[in-house]
Structure 1
Amino acid sequence: MTLRFSKMHGAGNDFVVIDATRAPFVPDARLLRRLTDRRYGVGCDQVLVVEAPGQPDVDFDYRIFNADGSEVGQCGNGARCLAVFVRAQGLSTKDHLRVRTQTRVLELEHLSDGQVRANLGAPMFAPEQVPIALGMPYAVDLPDFGAVAFDALSMGNPHAVIRVDDVDQAPVTILGPALQALPVFPQSVNVGFLQVTAPDAGRLRVFERGAGETLACGSGACAAAVAGQRRGWFGPSVQLTVPGGTLRVDWAGGDAPVWLTGPVETVFQGELL
């Protein structure tokens, strides 16, 4: 059976996007490995699946699969790509969309400059919401690193944010998986390394669950901006430079939703035989 797909990216965070509104998509582990593998398959950080809405209050259901086959509840850059995908596929002409993930409903908006912004919902901070089995302030002792302090929150998926002096020198690929393996994170965790450069700007690298370090992480950018604002490092609007480009995060604080804005590009369309 031929599987049609689009290869897309948001600030370098790349995806294989599949339309399952017309024909079902069965996300078995072998197929997901083939889609995500950069040498023997198509290659991407995550596979996004667009489905017909299961409830009348949304336009589409939206599923997100990691390279290791796990399904997750949030992907901000993927959601922005989804908005462009459904328009290109003739599935919707709306400028505003509502899509349901595994954990929450997202609002997506096409902007006049071609960028897409996504309402990722309000951040959650209670330990059971993250989830994390630690009391605040959050810190753990790790071999070779000593005490590691971080902020933790959920953007529909769990995040730990560590402030660093120089993101280029941060031990992302060592400390990231070390934190993910800790039992205090029962659902693992996305680990962000944040360098604050100004009250409205910063640099960020993220080691994601099930994907490793990516060129951008939309929910990770939101988590970093929110953590920074709560710490007094940032104001309500932040430009975050990630390895793949620049993302803007806006948050009014409290129970207000977090908005993620950035570019989307369709790289190519293809068929997997």
Structure 2
Amino acid sequence: MHGLGNDFVVIDGRKTPLPPMTPAVARAIADRRTGIGCDQVIVLERDEVQAFRMRIFNSDGGEVEACGNASRAVALLHGQPVTIATSGGPIALEPEDGGARVDMGAPRFDWDAIPLAYPMDTATMPVGWETLEGPMAINVGNPHVIFFVADAEAVPLEELGPVIEHDPIFPERINVNVAHLAGPDHLKLRVWERGAGLTQACGTGACATAVAAIRRGLVQSPVRVTLPGGDLVIAWEPGGSILMSGPAAESFRGTFDWDDYS
């Protein structure tokens, strides 16, 4: 499945328990030359509290807390409104024509919720990397840092992204977003995704960037966020949950032998 070109292998273990997913197995499945190929491996499992649990493994094998694009894909797969468990907390999914709306929960702004290595102002962090300075840090299920620039396309994100991602100030690494105002309540965004690199789309990145822009008074809710893969619409009011709407699609179905990747 994919959401705006951010693609996933979705493995459904809601009815039949799966063998253990490990970082090595996730890397092998995600490999585009010797595996099935994807940005993230999504595993659906039974859950004791919610309807089911969604686990997310980046292409480097690391497990992460949330993925907005995958959430829309899972909503489309499930086919009806549902609340599911993730490592970042419960989220509510509602399929729509050609996609879904996802309640991503409330953003977190405290330094230790991002988390950062030590206390600082997360609204305008007193840090910088070359031309990227004064970002905002937000946790929307997973951690993001957002830079507002004159032209997001002009930023060498393929060079600065990995440097920022692995900076010691971010003990759990970080997703890096660069955005500019493209019109009234319209942002253009590029994302360096933690553990995956440059991506066609990042749903949580769009959520974090829209929230940051609203907090800075650049836009009002709802916000259209244009990524390389297409558009998402993000709605948020201070104190409330983030609502993300956008497309998702199924590419194909298949089977594989687990032992080939373990």
TM-score by length of 1: 0.89
Match of residue 113, structure 2, among 106, 119, 129: 129
Match of residue 17, structure 1, among 5, 10, 13: 10
| TM-aligned CA distance change 1:251 to 1:141, over 3 Å | closer
Q: Report deviation, 1:135.
A: 1.1
- The 3-state SS of whatever aligns with 1:191 is strand
- Give the counterpart letter for 2:142 in structure 1: N
Quick check: 1:204–1:241 contact (8 Å CA) kept in 2?
yes
Q: Does 1:60 align with 2:52?
A: yes
Match of residue 97, structure 1, among 82, 85, 88: 82
Q: Report deviation, 1:86.
A: 2.7
Which string of whole-angstrom CA distances, capped at 9 and with x for unpartnered residues, describes residues 112-169 of structure 1?
A: x332010000000010111113412303244xx1662201010011100011211211
Q: Report deviation, 1:222.
A: 0.2
Match of residue 263, structure 1, among 225, 243, 247: 247
- Matched residue, 1:26: 20
Q: Report deviation, 1:270.
A: 1.5
Structure with more of its chain in strand, by fraction: 1
- Give the counterpart letter for 1:201 in structure 2: H
Which string of whole-angstrom CA distances, capped at 9 and with x for unpartnered residues, describes residues 205-228 of structure 1?
A: 110111111100000000000000
- The 3-state SS of whatever aligns with 1:269 is coil
In 2, Cα distance between equivalents of 1:185 and 1:262:
29
Q: Does 1:139 align with 2:135?
A: no
In 1, Cα distance between equivalents of 2:205 and 2:87:
17
Q: CA RMSD in A?
A: 1.4
Which string of whole-angstrom CA distances, capped at 9 and with x for unpartnered residues, describes residues 4-57 of structure 1?
A: xxxx001111100001121323112332122111111111111111111222xx
- The 3-state SS of whatever aligns with 2:253 is strand
- Matched residue, 1:38: 32
Q: Between the two proteins, what is the percent identity of the paired residues?
A: 40
Quick check: 1:124–1:154 contact (8 Å CA) kept in 2?
yes
- Which deviates more, 212-221 or 64-73? 64-73
- Matched residue, 1:4: none
Quick check: 1:139–1:147 contact (8 Å CA) kept in 2?
no
Which string of whole-angstrom CA distances, capped at 9 and with x for unpartnered residues, describes residues 180-232 of structure 1?
A: 11111111100001111123111111101111111000000000000000000
Which string of whole-angstrom CA distances, capped at 9 and with x for unpartnered residues, describes residues 54-77 of structure 1?
A: 22xx21111111112111111011
In 2, Cα distance between equivalents of 1:147 and 1:43:
32
- Give the counterpart letter for 2:13 in structure 1: A
Q: Does 1:218 align with 2:212?
A: no
In 2, Cα distance between equivalents of 1:168 and 1:147:
13
In 2, Cα distance between equivalents of 1:141 and 1:232:
22
Q: Gaps spanning 5+ residues in structure 2: where? A: 258-262
- Give the counterpart letter for 1:23 in structure 2: P
- Give the counterpart letter for 2:147 in structure 1: I
Quick check: 1:13–1:45 contact (8 Å CA) kept in 2?
yes
Which string of whole-angstrom CA distances, capped at 9 and with x for unpartnered residues, describes residues 96-127 of structure 1?
A: 1101101210000122x332010000000010
Q: Count matched residues.
A: 253
Quick check: 2:112–2:119 contact (8 Å CA) kept in 1?
no
In 2, Cα distance between equivalents of 1:42 and 1:179:
29
- The 3-state SS of whatever aligns with 1:226 is helix
- Give the counterpart letter for 2:125 in structure 1: Y
- Matched residue, 1:5: none
Quick check: 1:54–1:61 contact (8 Å CA) kept in 2?
no
Quick check: 2:25–2:61 contact (8 Å CA) kept in 1?
no
Match of residue 70, structure 1, among 57, 62, 72: 62
- Matched residue, 2:165: 180
Q: Does 1:247 align with 2:232?
A: yes
